[in-house]
Structure 1
Amino acid sequence: MTPRLTVAELPDRVRRLAQGRPGQRVVIGIVGPPGAGKSTVSERLAALLGAEARVLPMDGFHLAQRELERLGRADRKGAPDTFDVDGYVNALTRVRADTVATVYVPAFDRTLEEPIACALPFGPDVRVVLTEGNYLLHDAGGWEQVCPLLDECWYLDVDDAVRVARLVDRHIRHGRSEPAARAWVEQVDERNTALVALGRDRADVLVALD
C-alpha cells in the first residue's frame, strides 16, 4: 500500500534517502495536477531542509509562447507536448550526475508567462533536488524518461474543489476575466488533470494536503 504522509513528515524521509546515497545527490519528484500546490510544497520542503536543498521546476521547460503559436499549441499551453521534455530530461541527468560543476537550469516567470534561461544554479553545495511538475509520472511522449532519474516520486493529493478554485484565481490574477479563467480551467487544465491522475498509483508516496 502506498504510504500517505503529511508535508511535515517529508523532511525525515528525504534525510533517510540521503543517508542511503552518501556523496551523491538525492532527486525527489513532486507531482500533481494543475493547482495541487506543487510549487508551494516544494518551496516549503526546501526551506525545511535548508541550504542543501533546491527546487528544479518542470515549468522552466515550457516552450516559449512564440514557439507554441508557431506549432499551433498555444490554446492548450500546459499539455505534455507544450514542454521541451528532452531538455528537462537532460537537465535532470546533468544535475543528478554532476556534483562538481554548477549546472544552470531555466525557471518560469509567471508574470511574463515565459521561461527564463539559466536562472537557477545547482552548485556543489546542493545535495537534495526537488523537481516538481505535472508529468513526472506520465508514461508517453518522452516523459517516461523522467521517473528512472528520480529516487522517489510523490503525488500531491488535494481536494478537487480546492484545486479548481486555486486555478481560477491564478488565471484571474494573471489577467484573464473570470469567465475566461473558468473556461480555460475546464477546457485545458482539467484535461491535463486527467492525464496526471493516470500516474497516481505509480507514486512512491501520497502527500496529504488540505
Structure 2
Amino acid sequence: MEINFSSTTAKFHSLPITKSITRDRNPCSLSIAPRNKSAQLSFSSTCFGTKIKKSNILFKVLSSEEDHVQVVEGSGVDEIYDTLVKRIMPPASVSLNPNYKFFVGLAGPPGAGKSTIAHEVAKRINKLWPEKASSFDSQVQPPDVAIVIPMDGFHLYRSELDALKNPEEAHARRGAPWTFNPTRLLTCLKNLRVHGSVYAPSFDHGVGDPVEDDIFVNLQHKIIIVEGNYLLLEDGVWKEVSSLFDEKWYWFY
C-alpha cells in the first residue's frame, strides 16, 4: 500500500530506526520498523505507570514508514486524529477489492487512552469514507470501512485463571501479559488476513470476562485497528502478533 503522508497542522519528524527516542526522562526506550524489517518497536517494562512531565505537546504517536520512524506531534487532540486518519485512509479502489486488509497495531501504557484514539480514528475514517468510495451509488450509504478490535477480548477467562498454578496471584495481577491469550489473538488475526472476515471477542468489564463473537469484522472492513498494551512486545507469541501489523503505533504522553 502506498501511503501519502502530509499535514498542514500536526508536525512530524523522521528518525532512523536505529535510534531510540526518549522524552522528559521517560524510561520507555523504543525503535520502530515497517512490517518487512527485522527491527521491532520495543519498550521497557518500567515505562508502565510512569509519570511523564507535560509540555505544550499533547502527546506523540510513532508509526512506521519505510525505514524511518514518524513522530507525530500536535498541540491538540484533533490535530493528531486528523493526521492519523490521513495516514491510513484507504484509496477508493479498495471498495472493489475483497482481499484488501490493512492492520494497525496501537500500543501504549495502561490507561493512556488507546481505545479512545482507536475508536475516534475509525469513526473519522468511516465518516469521510463516503466521499472516497465513489464506486457506490450516491444515494446509498457505503458500509463502514474501519473497525477496532480490542486486545481486552483476549483476556484469559476467570475460570482459566483459577486453573493456573497460583490462581490468587493470577487474579491479583490480571492485566499482566501472561494473563492474556496471545495465541488466540494471533489465530484471529491470521484467519482475518486469510478469509477476510472473522468474529472477534470483546470484554465485559462488569462480568470480568470476554464476550465471544461480539465483534464481526466483515469483508467491507479494510482498516483494522487493534489496540492493547502488549501488541508490540517481542516475547514469544506476542512477537508473532506484532509481525502481522502493516503499521505499528506507540503513543505516550
Same fold (TM > 0.5)? yes
User: 1:26-45, aligned counterparts within 5 Å?
Assistant: 26-45=102-121
* Contact map agreement 1:11 1:49 (CA 8 A) in 2: yes
For 1:8, give the aligned amino acid.
D
After superposition, the C-alpha distances for 1:103-146 in whole angstroms (9 at most, x for unaligned) are 10100112222100000001111111000011111011310101
Question: Aligned to 2:251, which of 146, 156, 174?
Answer: 156
Q: Equivalent residue for 1:91? A: 188
Taking the aligned partners of 2:219 and 2:160, their CA distance within structure 1 comes to 34
Q: Equivalent residue for 1:77? A: 174
Question: Aligned to 1:147, which of 231, 236, 242?
Answer: 242
For 2:248, give the aligned amino acid.
C
What secondary structure is seen at the aligned counterpart in 2 of 1:136?
A: coil
Taking the aligned partners of 2:209 and 2:228, their CA distance within structure 1 comes to 16
**How many angstroms does 1:30 deviate by?**
0.7
Q: Equivalent residue for 1:10? A: 84
Q: Say what the alpha-carbon RMSD is for the aligned residues.
A: 1.7
Whose helix fraction is larger, Structure 1's or Structure 2's? 1
Could you tell me the percent identity over the aligned residues?
A: 35
The reply on whether 1:49 has 2:145 as its aligned counterpart is no
Aligned pairs, how many?
154
After superposition, the C-alpha distances for 1:78-114 in whole angstroms (9 at most, x for unaligned) are 1111111100000011112222xx4101001122221
Q: Relative contact order, CA 8 A, sep 6+: which one is greater?
A: 1
Q: Equivalent residue for 1:60? A: 153
Q: Equivalent residue for 2:223? A: 128
The reply on whether 1:111 has 2:206 as its aligned counterpart is yes
Taking the aligned partners of 1:103 and 1:137, their CA distance within structure 2 comes to 22
TM-score by length of 2: 0.58
For 1:78, give the aligned amino acid.
G
After superposition, the C-alpha distances for 1:50-85 in whole angstroms (9 at most, x for unaligned) are 010000111100001121122121111011111111
Runs of at least 5 residues in structure 2 that lack an aligned partner in the other structure: 1-14, 16-68, 73-79, 127-143
For 1:144, give the aligned amino acid.
K
